[in-house]
Structure 1
Amino acid sequence: MADLLPANAPATLGNLHLLAKQVMEGFRSGLHKSPHKGFSVEFKEHRSYVQGDDPRTIDWKLYGKTDRLFIREHEQETNLRATLLVDCSGSMAYGGSRANGLTKHGYAVRCAAALSHLMIRQQDGCGLVTFDTKVRKFIPPRVRPKHLTAILTELAGSKTGGETDLGDVFHRMAAKLPRRGLLIIFSDLFGDVERLIPALAHLRHSGHEVVVFQILDPDELDFPFDRRTRFRNLEDHADHHTVDPVQVRRAYMERLHVFREELKNGCGRQRIGLVPLTTDRPYAEALGHYLAMRRRAR
């Protein structure tokens, strides 16, 4: 667990917060906008007084100017309920020579560990889902500091293996997470885009904000192989092919381009945040950059 969340990782994120971009539902006061009106800090609008309203909410200054009674309404702030979804399928086991010894899965669990620490530190609920062809582990969002230990323990013990059907898993998760919240997905997203985008849209239509960190190894982006190579399917070890990379590189790069464009356009249509990450970039630095940009955008 010390390797999963080294002491300098939280320090790299500094005083950044992970703030919700859309209205959230929670159980207590916090950093994020709630759909419920209350007495909290941010003024929203005036409305006419009606019999039965609490006199403490009357804007007496406005009454002095207009001789009419108006109620000051505020946006109540709430805590965030975030769930981290970590892909543990076989394809996440790849790690090239430029990735500082990390597989895509190793990179994903470190990102998830850093964000879970950040959210629980800011008194927000954080949960975890690990999955491949099905949900392996579901830890519901909680705020208690001991809950962080449970998340880190599960992340540290998670292993890759097996195939995955991202579309099917996300459809099932939409039914398991009834309250609106923030879903953060760590995956290479390798799969059928035509099945994946409707599944992500299902999560959005359930009221969740969805952010996807697409984690790729640099080798998968520039295909640097230049000699006869044996390629093995990490989700089906019996499936392997020995090819001349020079002959297949052009076709590979074209298909990769189409895949990424379809994914980008599909996520854009559904207002899903798609954040590309590569395993050769320090993960705490990448997360810090994203959080800073997110805060400015908000």
Structure 2
Amino acid sequence: MLLDAQTLARLQGVKLRARAVMEGVLSGLHKSPHQGQSVEFAEHKEYAPGDELRHLDWKAYGKFDKYYVKRFEHETNLRAVMVVDASASMGYRSGALSKLDVATTLAGALCYLLVRQQDAAGLALMAGGKWKDVPPRASAGHLNVLLDTLEHTEPTGTTDLGSAADHLAEVLPRRSSVIVLSDLLDENQDALRRILALRQRKNDVSVFHLVDPAELTFPFDDPTLFIDMEGQGRIEVNPREIKESYLEEFNAFLANVKAACAEADVDYDLVRTDDKLDDVLLRYLSRRGRRR
């Protein structure tokens, strides 16, 4: 199955899209197992399709006539929270999927993968300074709560990453995994730094930076009315006159975000809304393996 944006857009709802991406990831992992797991043994779990065969415990098989996979200390204690930016700008789309569609699909696929390996997954949805929290749990029933919450998320309000950072610092225990899915379009110059400061609190922080292809290429030619999705601003301009300066400023913004994440030791991935999302997550998991 080709998981391009057009294919995913034909699947109605987050649950179907996230499951399709999750299955694509498991297929990719089966073809190319990741290296770099911890060697600190903690316990066993019964084998499930997609688990790495190199971790099968043959002694356990001989004793119980069932396949068991060794689990490791870092795997048994993981508590991950998907921080999904649901502000109005995330509703922008120039193609099949909006930035919010991609964010909720990636978050849902990660929740599938986490709960499947008996790790705890939770959500923090942010829009205009308002919050909706789903605390991390590892049960199969909890997965339905996570996916239903993502399914009913609509873009609204303004981006407020600073408020997000303060909220997370207050509610998260240390050494949590924090996965931020946002376009990072926040007028507050200090907002990103406050998000990245969660790393200093011993949390493992990752950023999926969502961008629309039109934001990267500015493909407009005729006089166009541009409307601020998070405010009252609107301006009509000749795009050809501002394209060069726009691209220069936007590329500088991307470079600054990437550099700030690198300096803070935060995993960063620029994700286009037309990317294949199973490939996005396979890249992410590969980087996670190398970091371990």
TM-score range, shorter chain: 0.7 to 0.9
Instruction: Determine which of 208, 214, 218 is the counterpart of 1:219.
Output: 214
Which one-letter code corresponds to 2:92 in the other structure? Y
**Secondary structure of the structure 2 residue equivalent to 1:137:** strand
Q: Does 1:109 align with 2:104?
A: yes
Structure 1 position 115, deviation (Å): 0.5
Q: Does 1:149 align with 2:161?
A: no
User: In the aligned structure 1, how far is the partner of 2:103 from the partner of 2:205?
Assistant: 16
Aligned to 1:241: 235
Aligned to 1:89: 87
User: In the aligned structure 2, how far is the partner of 1:18 from the partner of 1:143?
Assistant: 23
Q: Give the 3 Å change call, closer, same or farther, for CA 194–19 of structure 1 in structure 2.
A: farther
Which one-letter code corresponds to 1:270 in the other structure? A
User: In the aligned structure 1, how far is the partner of 2:229 from the partner of 2:35?
Assistant: 36
Structure 1 position 85, deviation (Å): 0.4
Structure 1 position 168, deviation (Å): 2.4
Q: Give the 3 Å change call, closer, same or farther, for CA 235–203 of structure 1 in structure 2.
A: same
Structure 1 position 269, deviation (Å): 1.1
| Contact 2:118–2:138 (CA under 8 A) maintained in structure 1 | yes
Larger Rg: 1
Structure 1 position 120, deviation (Å): 0.2
Q: Does 1:3 align with 2:1?
A: no
Q: How many residues get paired?
A: 247
Aligned to 1:172: 167
Task: Within 5 Å, give how 1:135-214 maps onto structure 2.
Answer: 135-192=130-187, 194-214=189-209
Post-superposition Cα deviations, 1:5-34, rounded to whole Å, max 9, x if no partner, equal: 335322201164999999xxxxx9689xxx
Q: Does 1:118 align with 2:113?
A: yes
- TM-score normalised by L of structure 1: 0.76
Which one-letter code corresponds to 2:21 in the other structure? A
Return 5+ residue gaps in structure 2 as ranges: 1-10, 46-54, 56-71
Structure 1 position 284, deviation (Å): 2.2
Structure 1 position 297, deviation (Å): 4.7
User: In the aligned structure 1, how far is the partner of 2:37 from the partner of 2:204?
Assistant: 8
Q: Does 1:270 align with 2:268?
A: no
**Secondary structure of the structure 2 residue equivalent to 1:230:** strand
**Secondary structure of the structure 2 residue equivalent to 1:5:** helix
| Contact 1:20–1:182 (CA under 8 A) maintained in structure 2 | no
| Contact 1:79–1:123 (CA under 8 A) maintained in structure 2 | no
Instruction: Determine which of 230, 248, 251 is the counterpart of 1:257.
Output: 251
Aligned to 1:60: none
Which one-letter code corresponds to 1:291 in the other structure? L
User: In the aligned structure 1, how far is the partner of 2:157 from the partner of 2:261?
Assistant: 26
Structure 1 position 180, deviation (Å): 1.4
| Contact 2:177–2:205 (CA under 8 A) maintained in structure 1 | yes
Identity %: 32
Structure 1 position 114, deviation (Å): 0.4
- TM-score normalised by L of structure 2: 0.77
| Contact 2:121–2:138 (CA under 8 A) maintained in structure 1 | yes
| Contact 1:171–1:202 (CA under 8 A) maintained in structure 2 | no
Structure 1 position 96, deviation (Å): 0.2
Structure 1 position 193, deviation (Å): 7.0
Post-superposition Cα deviations, 1:103-134, rounded to whole Å, max 9, x if no partner, equal: 10011101111000000001100000100122
Structure 1 position 178, deviation (Å): 2.2
Structure 1 runs, 4 residues or longer, greater than 6 Å off:
17-22
Aligned to 2:24: 12
User: In the aligned structure 2, how far is the partner of 1:30 from the partner of 1:194?
Assistant: 47
User: In the aligned structure 2, how far is the partner of 1:295 from the partner of 1:167?
Assistant: 30
Which structure: greater helix fraction? 2
Q: Give the 3 Å change call, closer, same or farther, for CA 235–225 of structure 1 in structure 2.
A: same
